[in-house]
């Protein structure tokens, strides 16, 4: 299994996830208290109903308390969050060991209510050496103390993941906990694709995935295409979906929403396996019309007609790429992904010319490719 579908503001998490299994190796879905209500309303099913629906189809459900969203600037979309009993005192108060323990116990109790595995909460880190990183370590230790089989979380912004030796030291302290699994998240400012991934941040995520995966399964939450280097470094699964909010963990996803709209317009961009990039539906259609052979090779196949088909195609692409990276040892995975990035960079000029657009190779591939390269240097590949 290689994919977990992240929660969505739309009401189709269970249905599309269950259908998506026919298109790729989907393990299940991750519910969020920010986008799934505890009790059913006229628009969305309850968390328990969604979890049950997934399990009925043989999939797993997770519940990520996303405590790390509470530290984001302008967080304000609490419509569903406040329905979950995650806090005994003030929301977000982790100032004492007792408050930390109470919060973790409440998160686990909610997960028990949903019948999902224990996934320990964490906070958003900007630096791996700070009072906040100490709190994150205490949260992880407390979760492991309460349940030695819990999956633990590590969440930071780009600066956190790019901080080299201090990051490695923090991860070293976490590794002492000997968790059953790890969920890693890179948080960004904006919900935009392509993700503006910095090379050093990708390098940090790779080093972390490489070291933690020696002992436990590593998942990259909201990782999508940007997490492929981490997969090459040893991560087992990544989070994805049909909307950008499922593919990027960003401040903007948790801000107060101006209207009652939950879903907004459908995301129709098309994933092209050969260049590990997205094109708009219109651009992909032009490419297909101008150079059908190239389009068929790099999509591969035909342009998906709608958002649902685009999601299924995206799942197929991710599944194939990840499967290719999980054959052989770490060096082989690194070489495979380097080759894919090289091929994608080489194909972008032709894609741009035939689709009549400027090349976006730099935006899609430069950061992740450079980060993978730094990881390769660190490993001596």
Partner 1 sequence: MDDAVWQEAEAVLGVEDVRELGVGGQKMVRLVRRDGNECVLKVVGIESDAPDALRRAQREVELLKALDSDHVVKVESDLVEIGNPVVGASWLEEYLDGVDLADELGAQWSWDDTRKMGREVALGLGAMHEVKVVHRDLSASNVRHVDGGRYVVMDPGFARHTLRSGLTVGGQPGTLGFLSPEHLQAYSGSPTPSSDVFCLGVLMYTALTGNQPIPFTGDPGEYLGRLLDAEIPDVAGIRPDLPAPAVELITSMLHPQPARRPRNGNRVAALLEDLH
Site residues (vs partner 1, CB under 8 A): 128-131, 133-134, 136-137, 165-166, 168-176, 178, 207-208, 210-212, 214
Distance CA 329, CA 289 (A): 40
For residue 178, the minimal CB distance to partner 1 (Å) is 7
- Asked if 209 and 233 touch (Cβ cutoff 8 Å), the reply is yes
For residue 172, the minimal CB distance to partner 1 (Å) is 3
* CB hemisphere CA count around 82 (13 angstroms): 6
For residue 154, the minimal CB distance to partner 1 (Å) is 11
Pick 22 or 134: Cβ nearer partner 1: 134
Pick 170 or 247: Cβ nearer partner 1: 170
**Helix axes of 330-355 and 281-290: crossing angle, nearest 10 degrees:** 80
Pick 215 or 266: Cβ nearer partner 1: 215
Distance CA 114, CA 355 (A): 47
For residue 186, the minimal CB distance to partner 1 (Å) is 18
DSSP letters, 285-315, are HHHHHH-HHHHHHHTTSS--SSHHHHHHHHH
For residue 170, the minimal CB distance to partner 1 (Å) is 5
**Helix axes of 307-325 and 13-20: crossing angle, nearest 10 degrees:** 50
Pick 4 or 171: Cβ nearer partner 1: 171
For residue 215, the minimal CB distance to partner 1 (Å) is 8
Residue 33 CA from chain centroid, whole number:
16
For residue 370, the minimal CB distance to partner 1 (Å) is 20
Return the H-helix or E-strand segment holding 28: strand 26-31
- Asked if 217 and 188 touch (Cβ cutoff 8 Å), the reply is no
Return the H-helix or E-strand segment holding 138: helix 131-146
For residue 136, the minimal CB distance to partner 1 (Å) is 7
Pick 198 or 209: Cβ nearer partner 1: 209
Distance CA 238, CA 147 (A): 24
Distance CA 347, CA 274 (A): 8
Per DSSP, the three-state class of 237 is: strand
Pick 143 or 174: Cβ nearer partner 1: 174
Per DSSP, the three-state class of 280 is: coil
Pick 81 or 160: Cβ nearer partner 1: 160
**Proportion of the chain in helix, strand, coil states, percent, rounded to 5:** 50, 15, 35
Pick 166 or 324: Cβ nearer partner 1: 166
Per DSSP, the three-state class of 26 is: strand
For residue 234, the minimal CB distance to partner 1 (Å) is 11
Question: Is residue 342 reached through a cis peptide bond, with omega within 30 degrees of 0 on the bond before it?
Answer: no
Pick 137 or 355: Cβ nearer partner 1: 137
For residue 92, the minimal CB distance to partner 1 (Å) is 19
Residue 99 CA from chain centroid, whole number:
28
221 closest CA partner among 346, 347, 331, 69: 69
Distance CA 231, CA 166 (A): 22
Partners of 125 in beta bridges: 156
Pick 176 or 256: Cβ nearer partner 1: 176
């Amino acid at each position: 299994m290689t994919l977990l579908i992240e929660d969505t503001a739309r009401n189709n998490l269970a249905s599309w996830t269950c259908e998506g299994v026919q298109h790729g190796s989907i393990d299940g879905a991750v519910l969020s208290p920010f986008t799934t209500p505890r009790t059913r309303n006229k628009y969305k099913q309850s968390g328990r109903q969604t979890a049950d629906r997934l399990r009925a189809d043989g999939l797993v459900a997770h519940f990520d308390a996303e405590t790390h969203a509470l530290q984001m600037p302008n967080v304000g979309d609490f419509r569903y969050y406040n329905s979950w009993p995650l806090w005994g005192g003030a929301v977000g108060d982790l100032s004492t060991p007792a408050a930390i323990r109470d919060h973790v116990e409440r998160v686990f109790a909610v997960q028990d209510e949903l019948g999902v595995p224990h996934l320990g909460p964490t906070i958003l880190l900007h630096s791996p050496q700070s009072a906040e990183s100490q709190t994150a370590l205490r949260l992880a230790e407390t979760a492991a103390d309460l349940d030695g089989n819990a999956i633990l979380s590590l969440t930071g912004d780009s600066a956190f993941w790019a901080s080299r030796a201090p990051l490695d030291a923090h991860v070293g302290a976490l590794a002492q906990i000997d968790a059953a699994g790890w969920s890693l998240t890179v948080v960004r400012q904006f919900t935009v694709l392509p993700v503006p991934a910095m090379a050093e941040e990708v390098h940090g995520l790779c080093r972390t995935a490489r070291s933690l995966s020696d002992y436990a399964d590593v998942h990259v939450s909201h990782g999508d295409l940007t997490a492929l280097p981490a997969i090459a470094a040893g991560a087992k699964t990544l989070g994805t979906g049909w909307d950008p909010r499922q593919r990027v963990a960003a401040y903007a996803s948790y801000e107060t929403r101006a209207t009652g709209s939950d879903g907004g317009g459908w995301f129709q961009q098309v994933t092209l396996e050969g260049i590990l990039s997205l094109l708009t539906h219109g651009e992909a259609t032009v490419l297909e019309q101008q150079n059908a052979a190239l389009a068929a090779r790099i999509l591969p196949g035909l342009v998906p007609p709608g958002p649902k088909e685009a999601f299924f195609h995206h799942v197929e692409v991710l599944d194939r790429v990840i499967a290719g990276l999980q054959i052989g040892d770490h060096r082989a995975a690194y070489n495979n992904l380097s080759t894919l990035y090289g091929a994608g960079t080489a194909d972008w000029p032709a894609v741009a010319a035939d689709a009549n657009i400027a090349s976006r190779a730099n935006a899609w591939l430069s950061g992740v490719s450079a980060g993978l390269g730094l990881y390769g240097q660190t490993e001596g590949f």
